[in-house]
Structure 1
Amino acid sequence: MFFKFRSESMNSGILGKTGVLLVNLGTPDSTSVPDVRKYLRQFLMDRRVIDIPFLSRWFLVNCIIAPFRAPKSAAVYKKVWLAEGSPLKVYGLAVEKLLQEKLGGQYVVKLGMRYQNPSIESALSAFAGRADIGRIIVIPFFPQYASATTGSVHEEVMRIVNQWQIIPDIRFVNSFYDHPGVIRGFADSAQPFLTRDRYEHFVFSYHGLPERQLTKAYVGGHDCEKAGCRKAITAENQHCYLAQSYATTRALVRELNLKEESVTTCFQSRLGKDPWIQPYTEDVVKALAKNGVKSVLAFSPAFVADCLETTEEVGEEYKELFLENGGERWDLVPSLNDKPIWIETLADLVRRSET
């Protein structure tokens, strides 16, 4: 005998509203040294960011990195700070508002930062205990998945909601490195440069990671060279940060109709002496200039909003390095920030997550 089971929630879909949590990395509350030091300590004490034993991490962060790096970082933050505040926060709040308008009243959109303010916990509090919130969709603002970024956001969200009496349906967007809107968005940002000038080379710089984080992400370890991570996305490497980064480059190369020999994918922002994924952006920049390349257009497709790592590191520091070694022109393509195509892309990610 078979029973005909009818679920009202299954037939009619999720009742009530959908909460949308947007999460970016984070930012100091101000450019003061104490605020920057506080931010660095919270950020770098995350076990997914510096994945070494707690006591070693505590000593490294609190006794070496934060005390000595905070004054230098505070000076750099002052260079990128906008009149309204931190670029990540300014763009994040703008996107929160625009996406809310785009999605309408059946959605509640909130921005949270993994580190500092507005916190993930404060953003989630807008959904906690609300009978009219039937589902929460979490979108970390990192196109390529990494344990230190997207993984850390997932862990923090679950740590918080674990304390709730009612935990609604929660869905996470793991990555969106190949979403057509992301690729089109960066390509559109590049068009004014390509229309105005001819470039000899194109550099795609992604945030770096220690090599060990790629290896230990897989049961039994992971070898990017054997898995072909620089060549294609496969079932074996589909979650690999390096594989997703190279896939992003390939998609942009196709979209912009660039010649493969004029493109280099590389990785920036390494910290410490342990080997990070290569090639390092600083080495690529120096080599290009010394080999006679005079003009470069740079992209930072790991960042959906311009920030210290794009505007200052890629836009200024690498430009200075390129010019010092014989280069003549270095331009940086702006990120997605609060552009309409980014809002459209986020809306599409929300709708896809509902199905």
Structure 2
Amino acid sequence: MNTDTLAQPATSTTEKSIKKTGVLIVNLGTPDSPSVPDVRKYLREFLMDERVIDIPYLNRWFLINLIIAPFRAPKSAKVYKELWRPDGSPLKIYGYSVKEKLQKALGDEYVVELAMRYQSPSIEGALKELRKECFSEIIVVPFFPQYASASTGSVYKEVMRVVQDWEVLPEIRFVNRFLDHPKFIQGFADLAKKYMAQRKYGHFVFSYHGLPERQITKGDVTGSFCQFGTCCNQLDHRNQHCYRAQCFETTRLLVKALDLQEGTYTTCFQSRLGKTPWIKPYTDEVIPELTKKGVKNVLAFSPSFVADCLETTIEVGEEYKELFEKEGGQHWQLVESLNDSDIWIETLEDLITGRPKPAEIRA
């Protein structure tokens, strides 16, 4: 008998293809359908998040359940019906497409799951699936280029809520932001160049989702740096987590990539809710100012979104276009989001695998 044969294990673990890493990609969310009940359900879950509307619970409950959800849901449902495709919500359609493409790009050592912060597929359900695989690491990638407590921070909180009672916790790594990733910038720049080759634009509008000013102030851990002015002119260690400063930095990077001239572009903020001050300037107030200056052609961007949705396609692409034309403008063109493009998949692959490293923050 050959004892050497007996001494060898039947199969070495190094010879197996072991799935080592779970990847959870997360976008904000979308109603399950454009019906009023589903939109109302979505609004309640979204706006009841204390990181989204950061006021005392009882005040928030009455505001959302007795005022906003009942009255806003029918109006929002009409808009969602305009956005909806035969096969569902664009946000979810692109999400599943990205999941499939990213899985193929990463290979067998990774398992990719898609989740939405609000509604389905849920973070809890996706993590339940990843838990079964006994991964050594789970990488969470919120689909928000700029960090904000109301978006990325909320994803962090929900993930930790779900896993806090797990007996075995793998290493969990969060992607904090990716506004300065070269391929993210290149993706938007390449899309813009397609339109710039077809027409000469007099101005470029970079419209980001807004936040209440109080949330920006609360995020200033120094307690004194944030002034809503020149403090956003540079991104450094003091304001690296300030959403407004990150938005201005995103604009600067895109301006450089597109070689735009000073005075031909504006950074502004959309989607404000309520009467409290939100970060400025407001996009709907910038547009009339541009037409008064004689601007006739505008190329608009929404670089706080990676997938087209209500805020890009409808708000920036249609509502702001109507406002621009009403004020005397002639041509308003929205640059679409990265959606499921090859360069977005490459960006995600880099963020997950750690190569290459984005530019370091200036000291």
TM-score, length basis structure 2: 0.91
2 CA distance for matches of 1:126 and 1:319? Answer: 43
Offset, 1:223? 4.4
Deviates more, 1:345-354 or 1:95-104: 345-354
- The residue that corresponds to 1:53 in the other structure is 56
* Deviation by residue 1:159-211 (Cα, 9 ceiling, x = unmatched): 00112111100000000011101100001111111000000000000000000
Instruction: For 1:140 and 1:205, locate their aligned partners in 2 and report how far apart those are by CA, in whole Å.
Output: 20
Q: 2:110 maps to what in 1?
A: 107
Contact persistence 2:29–2:119 (CA under 8 A): yes
**1:18 matched to 2:24:** no
Q: Which of 319, 323, 326 is residue 325 of structure 2 equivalent to?
A: 323
Aligned position for 1:69: 72
Contact 1:137 1:170 survives alignment (8 Å) = yes
Secondary structure, aligned partner of 1:261: coil
User: Structure 2, unaligned stretches of length 5 or more?
Assistant: 1-17, 358-363
Q: Structure 1 residues 291 and 323, CA, compared in 2 at 3 Å: closer, same or farther?
A: same
Offset of 1:227 from its aligned partner? 7.7
Task: Give the conservation status (yes or no) of the 8 Å contact 1:229–1:246.
Answer: no
Question: 3-state SS of the aligned residue for 1:125?
Answer: helix
Q: Distance in 1 between matches of 2:189 and 2:36?
A: 37
Q: CA RMSD in A?
A: 1.5
Candidates 98, 101, 123, aligned match of 1:98: 101
Task: Tell me how far 1:222 sits from its aligned partner.
Answer: 4.8
Counterpart residue identity of residue 298, structure 2: V
1:229–1:242 CA contact under 8 A, matched in 2 = no
The answer for the alignment partner of 1:274 in structure 2 is 276
Equivalent position amino acid for 1:277 in 2: I
SS in 2 for 1:21: strand
In 2, the alpha carbon distance for the partners of 1:45 and 1:225 equals 28
AA aligned opposite 2:157: E
| Structure 1 residue 29 displacement after superposition | 0.1
Shift of 1:228: 3.7
Question: In the alignment, what sits opposite 2:218?
Answer: 216
Task: Mark the structure with the bigger radius of gyration.
Answer: 2
Letter in 1 for 2:155: V
Aligned residue in 2 for 1:42? 45
Summarize deviations over 1:253-304 as a string: whole Å, max 9, x none. Answer: 0000111210000000000000000000000011111221111000000000
Q: Is 2:220–2:239's contact at 8 Å kept on the other side of the alignment? A: no
Q: Which range moves more in the overlay, 210-219 or 108-117? A: 210-219
* Contact kept in structure 2, 1:216 and 1:222, CA below 8 Å: no
Q: Where do 4+ consecutive residues of structure 1 move more than 4 Å?
A: none
DSSP 3-state at the match of 1:306: coil
1:241 to 232, 240, 243: 243
The 1:126–1:229 alpha-carbon spacing in structure 2 relative to 1, beyond 3 Å, is: farther
2: CA distance between counterparts of 1:83 and 1:230?
A: 42
Matches within 5 A, 1:1-355: 16-131=19-134, 133-219=135-221, 221-225=223-227, 228-352=230-354
Letter in 1 for 2:95: G
- The one-letter amino acid of 2:65's match is N
Q: Match of 2:240, as an amino acid?
A: Q
SS of the residue 2:221 aligns to: coil
Q: How many angstroms apart in 2 are the aligned matches of 1:141 and 1:33?
A: 26
Work out the CA distance in 1 between the residues paired with 2:316 and 2:323: 10
Cα deviation, residue 84, structure 1: 1.3
Cα distance, 1:218 vs structure 2:
2.5
In the TM superposition, residue 224 of structure 1 has moved relative to its aligned partner by: 3.2
Partner of 2:52, secondary structure, is coil
Cα deviation digits, residues 230-258 of structure 1 (max 9, x gap): 31111111111011100000000000011
Write the distance in 2 (CA, Å) between the matches of 1:306 and 1:226.
Answer: 28
Aligned residues: 340
Give the whole-Å Cα distance in 1 for the aligned partners of 2:59 and 2:88: 34
SS in 1 for 2:133: coil
Q: Which amino acid aligns with 2:309?
A: C
- Verify the 8 A CA contact 2:21 2:110 in the aligned structure 1: yes
SS at match of 1:55: helix
* Structure 2 letter corresponding to 1:168: P
Which residue identity does 1:174 align to in structure 2?
N
Secondary structure in 2 aligned to 1:30? Answer: coil
Percent identity of paired positions between Structure 1 and Structure 2: 64
Provide, for residues 17-58 of structure 1, a one-character-per-residue CA deviation record: whole Å limited to 9, x for no partner.
100000000000000000000000000000000000000000
8 A contact 2:207–2:301 mirrored in 1: yes
* Inter-partner Cα distance in structure 2 for 1:286 and 1:24: 32
Q: Does the 8 A contact of 2:29 with 2:120 survive in 1? A: yes
Q: 1:352: Cα distance to partner? A: 1.1
